[in-house]
Structure 1
Amino acid sequence: MVVILLFMTIMAGIAGWWLLRQGLGAKPWLEVGIAGEADWTGPAPRPTAKLGLAAFLAVAGSLFALLVSAYFMRSGMADWRPLPVPAVLWFSTGLLVLSSVALQTTVTAARRGELDGVRSGLLATGVSALAFLAGQLLACRELGAAGYFAVANPAGAFFILVTTIHGLHLLGGLVALGRTAVRAFAAPMAGAPEALAGMRLSVELCATYWHFLLLVWLVLFALLMRWTDDLIEICRALLA
């Protein structure tokens, strides 16, 4: 219980910090000016999509927090036999980090109006993300070939569960990323700044989602590597 509350507090803090960066904490009624002089001709702010993503991340974060809590509770039972971690998981983790970095560079290129940079960044993000998913499948296949899924072992079921749920979330992100990529590659070079202005929000939302999935996977990877065993023992001692 302590661990899940700590995880959810951290996620809530990150979500609050991100929302404040979007200007959602501003108080327009406190702005100094003369009534009637407001500029209504500019583009309206678009916090709705950002609020929607923040709500979805809160729900997804709660789901993963429950998975982490279930791992802590289940791993203390007698029938739990830890699995060896396939070496390919190190490689796939590096690919997800690369994917997140590539998408952040895409955000920078979109803000600068560099269409070529946006196209290459989206392509690199998609390819590395697909390679990450392929690495996850190879890890499952390796463990299955070694017979770790043939016997009743909750550790094997947990491995399948967390990799599948995380992979499904990444696939959903790839759908949104693909739609953004289609718009980017269909945009003419002559009107690149105008085209990027329309898709900048999509790129930024994809980047935020990607960073969230990277953070979640690093937590799950630490669990699978059993780096958190000492933390688990501390939590159990506090709850005893």
Structure 2
Amino acid sequence: MIVIVLFMVLMAMLAGWWLSHQRLAAKPWLEVGIIDEARDSRPRSPQIAKIGLGAFLAVAGSLFALLISAYSMRMSMADWRALPMPIGLWFNTGLLMLASVALHSAVIAARCDEPGNLRSALLAAGVCSLAFLVGQVLAWRELAAAGYFSAANPASAFFYLVTAIHGLHMLGGLVVLGRTTVRSFAAPQVSGALRLSVELCAIYWHFLLLVWLVLFSLLMRWTDDLIEMCRGLLS
């Protein structure tokens, strides 16, 4: 339970920091200016869209937190046999990091109204993300060829489960990223709607990277000592 609490606290801290930058506590009736200026200071659709994405990420974060908690509890049972992690997972992690960096560059290009750099960054993010998913499938095939099927070992079942759910979240994000990329090529300039879409994609990819780094640490057994320490505190 400590693992899920720590993960939820981390997600809550990140969500609180992010929401604090969305002017949710703004009081336009106290701001100096004419009435129209006060009305303009009210939360608009960009803030609403970001709040909606934040709510979705909170739900998705809770799902992954439950999976992480179940994983940490299940691995202490006698029938658990740790898997030899494919080397390709390191390469996949690097690809996801590159995708996140590329989308951050896309946000900068969108804010600076640089359509060419924006398109290049979006394409790079899409290619790296697709390569990440292909790499995950190859990791599945490597484990399956070695005899680690989902029903043969609880460890393998959890590996397929957590990586599949993470991959499905990325597939959903790729649909939006693909539409955003198409819009960037169709528009001669960076519009406000396109800029918002790029920012939402970047936020989502940063979230996917954070979740994957946590899952990767669990799968590589880097957190075993921390989990044992938490169990000792609870016992």
Considering the TM-score relative to the shorter chain, is it more than 0.5?
Answer: yes
Aligned-partner Cα distance in 2 for 1:44–1:79: 53
Does residue 210 in structure 1 map to residue 205 in structure 2? yes
Residue in 2 that maps onto 1:86: 86
Equivalent position amino acid for 2:12 in 1: A
Larger CA deviation: 1-10 vs 83-92: 1-10
Q: Percent identity at matched positions?
A: 68
Change (3 A) 1:20 1:94: same
Aligned-partner Cα distance in 2 for 1:116–1:54: 29
- Whether the aligned pair in 2 keeps the contact of 1:115 and 1:196 (CA below 8 Å) is no
The number of equivalent residue pairs is 234
Change (3 A) 1:12 1:44: closer
Equivalent position amino acid for 2:217 in 1: A
Question: 5 Å matches for 1:16-35?
Answer: 16-33=16-33
Residue in 2 that maps onto 1:169: 169
- Whether the aligned pair in 1 keeps the contact of 2:95 and 2:129 (CA below 8 Å) is yes
5+ long unaligned stretches in structure 2: none
- Whether the aligned pair in 1 keeps the contact of 2:28 and 2:41 (CA below 8 Å) is no
SS of equivalent to 1:21: coil
Change (3 A) 1:226 1:37: closer
Does residue 55 in structure 1 map to residue 55 in structure 2? yes
Residue in 2 that maps onto 1:45: 44
- Whether the aligned pair in 2 keeps the contact of 1:19 and 1:25 (CA below 8 Å) is no
Shift of 1:5: 1.2
Residue in 1 that maps onto 2:102: 102
Residue in 2 that maps onto 1:196: 191
- Whether the aligned pair in 1 keeps the contact of 2:28 and 2:38 (CA below 8 Å) is no
Change (3 A) 1:42 1:69: closer
Offset from partner CA, 1:20-45 (integer Å, 9 cap, x none)? 112223222321345x4536579972
Offset from partner CA, 1:114-150 (integer Å, 9 cap, x none)? 0001100110000000000000000010000000117
Equivalent position amino acid for 2:229 in 1: I
SS of equivalent to 2:24: coil
5+ long unaligned stretches in structure 1: none
Aligned-partner Cα distance in 1 for 2:42–2:4: 41
Cα-Cα RMSD: 1.7
Offset from partner CA, 1:163-219 (integer Å, 9 cap, x none)? 00000000000001011111101113xxx1xx4333101000000000000000000
Please point out which of 196, 207, 219 is paired with 1:224: 219
- After TM superposition, the score normalised by the length of structure 1 is 0.93
Change (3 A) 1:42 1:187: farther
Aligned-partner Cα distance in 2 for 1:92–1:170: 13
Change (3 A) 1:151 1:183: closer
Aligned-partner Cα distance in 1 for 2:103–2:36: 39
Equivalent position amino acid for 1:196 in 2: S
Residue in 1 that maps onto 2:123: 123
Aligned-partner Cα distance in 2 for 1:39–1:71: 50
Residue in 2 that maps onto 1:179: 179
- After TM superposition, the score normalised by the length of structure 2 is 0.95
